[in-house]
Amino acid sequence: MRRAGTVVGVTQGVAVVRSTDEEFPDVGAELVDERLDAVGAVVDVFGPTGQPYLAVSPPSDRAVTRLVGEVVYAR
């Protein structure tokens, strides 16, 4: 596992993750939290190339607003 970034917000049911650096997970990659619980899949990458943002679609049973401020990891 490697660190993907920090959840900085939620919009329209999608978690927005600020990547830690230029190395970021690909679209379709699964992300997990510290407890290895599924956070969701990367559906889009946008923003500056140095530290892009990742749009993450969570599983239907996951409350994404609780993730704001948490570090997530690529599986």
pLDDT tens-place string over residues 31-66:
999 999 999 999 999 999 888 999 999 987 677 888
* Dist CA 33 CA 17 (whole Å): 12
* Dist CA 70 CA 62 (whole Å): 14
String of DSSP letters for 2-68: EEEEEEEEEETTEEEEEESSS--PPTT-EEE-TT--EEEEEEEEES-SSS-EEEEE--TT--GGGGT
Q: Which residue has the tokens 């969701």?
A: 40
Q: Give the CATH fold of the 2-74 domain.
A: Thrombin, subunit H (2.40.10)
Q: pTM (2 decimals)?
A: 0.89
